[in-house]
Amino acid sequence: MSVPAKQGRITPKRIRSMKDGQPIVCLTAYTTPMARLLDAHCDLLLVGDSLGMVLYGMETTVSVTLDMMIAHGRAVMRGVKNACVVVDMPFGSYQESREVAFRNAVRLLQETGCDAVKLEGGEEMAETIAFLTTRGVPVLGHIGLMPQQVHTAGGYRSVGHSDEESAKLRRDASAIGSSGAFAVVIEGTVETLARELTAQVEVPTIGIGASSACDGQILVSDDMLGLFNDFTPRFVKRYDELGQRVRKAAEDYAREVRARQFPGPEHTFKRRS
Ligand SMILES: Nc1nc(=O)c2c([nH]1)NC[C@@H]1CN(c3ccc(C(=O)N[C@@H](CCC(=O)O)C(=O)O)cc3)CN21
Ligand SMILES: CC(C)C(=O)C(=O)O
Ligand SMILES: [Mg+2]
């Protein structure tokens, strides 16, 4: 007996199969309305811990908590029908032990309904990723520039400019590629190395500041929309200037209120009969 096929979200397994095919299209989303707008055009939506900087004005992503990621993961899930939804594990929620990582990853899956989690780390996190994936938690890796390591790295700096850094990134890509992760984000590295890593690892690479050689691309939506203007990494392309448009709309509104031009008759309730 056959049942009607229900069109669901793209699965991590399907993303895994997109190596060497059409580029994988990914963006971040933190809220229901933005998720609704982006969903149809994306293969994967990431509830990134970048929300700490973009939505909450934090200096780094280090202060973002699991409760914040759960609240925004739930909001995004309400808006998505098509894309695979991945939620970032925040700093401190997975580094201590593979058991702690599993417990917190399960909280994200159970309390948000998302499809997978992402965590930052190379060789040193491969064992944790294997522990999670063999127990039913799909994991997206994240190597290269790892924002949660800002304090030990001494800032947000692209990597792979020296032989030592390149060798480390090759070991990281190899370890994460064979850890059970369904794909790996590569952030902030040079084109030649990104191309080499993409050829080297068996799972898709999703680049951010890692050239066009990756199997997919991701950007912070607020960056490409011109909504976040505190800083603009070199790898961001502005597809719109929504920040300027918001400022202009607020300006127009303020002028009209002060001139008593808004609200007009068409915005005003009149007593019926
Ligand atoms: N809005 C936003 N967009 C992001 O891409 C992002 C976040 N927030 N928060 C978490 C991390 C931090 N990221 C950053 C932040 C700054 C640079 C940056 O300023 N890079 C400089 C120097 C790079 C270098 O010298 O190696 C650049 O010019 O791109 C890069 C990535 C990426 N992630
Ligand atoms: C930029 C992406 C990869 C991310 O980790 C985030 O938005 O937090
Ligand atoms: Mg992140």
Global ipTM? 0.96
Query: Cα(65)–Cα(214) distance, rounded to whole angstroms?
Result: 30
Give domain limits for the chain. 12-242
- pLDDT of the residue at 2: 85
DSSP 8-class letter at 210: S
Query: In this model, does residue 6 exceed pLDDT 90?
Result: no
Residue 186 φ then ψ, to 5°: -115, 115
d(CA 233, ligand 1 centre) in Å: 5
| pLDDT for 4 | 87
Q: pLDDT tens digits, residue range 242-273?
A: 999 999 999 999 999 999 999 999 999 999 98
Q: Is the dihedral of CA 14, 18, 22, 28 positive or negative?
A: positive
Average pLDDT of the residues in 181-203: 98
187 is catalytic: yes
Q: What does the pLDDT average to over 19-44? A: 98
C-alpha–C-alpha distance, residues 120 and 144, integer Å: 9
In the structure, which protein residues have their CB atom closer than 6 angstroms to any atom of ligand 1?
50, 53-54, 61, 147, 156-158, 220, 222-223, 228, 231, 233-234
62, 151 in Cβ contact below 8 A? yes
Tokens of 242: 């929504």
pLDDT at residue 1 greater than cutoff 80: no
Please pick, among 124, 127, 164, 187, the residue that the annotation labels catalytic. Answer: 187
**pTM check: above 0.90:** yes
218 within 8 A of 26, measured Cβ to Cβ: yes
Which of the ligands is closest to the CA of residue 218? 2
- Whether 185 is in the pocket of ligand 2, judged by its Cβ within 6 Å, is yes
Tokens encoding 169:
């990134």
- Distance between CA atoms of residues 202 and 177, nearest Å: 6
> What mean pLDDT do residues 65-89 have?
99
Distance CA 141, CA 121 (A): 7
Instruction: Report the separation in Å between the CA atom of 269 and the middle of ligand 1, taken as the mean of its atom positions.
Output: 49
The CATH class of 12-242 is alpha beta
* Distance from C-alpha of 105 to C-alpha of 13, rounded to nearest angstrom: 18
Query: How many Cα atoms occupy the beta-carbon half-sphere of 150 within 13 Å?
Result: 11
Which pLDDT score, from 0 to 100, does residue 5 have?
84
Atom of ligand 1 nearest to the CA of 228: 1
User: How many whole angstroms separate alpha carbon 161 and alpha carbon 91?
Assistant: 26
Cα 11 to Cα 115: distance, rounded to the nearest angstrom: 7
**Which ligand ends up closest to the CA of 229?**
1
Q: What is the pLDDT of residues 163-185, one digit of tens each?
A: 999 999 999 999 999 999 999 99
Average pLDDT of every residue of the chain: 98
Q: In this predicted model, what pLDDT tens digit does every residue of 93-135 receive, in sequence order? A: 999 999 999 999 999 999 999 999 999 999 999 999 999 999 9
Say how far apart CA 254 and CA 257 lie, in whole Å.
Answer: 5
Joined tokens for residue 4 = 């009607």
3-class secondary-structure state, position 41: helix
* Interstrand relation of 44-47 and 205-208 (parallel, antiparallel or unpaired): unpaired
pLDDT band at 240 (very low <50, low <70, confident <90, very high): very high
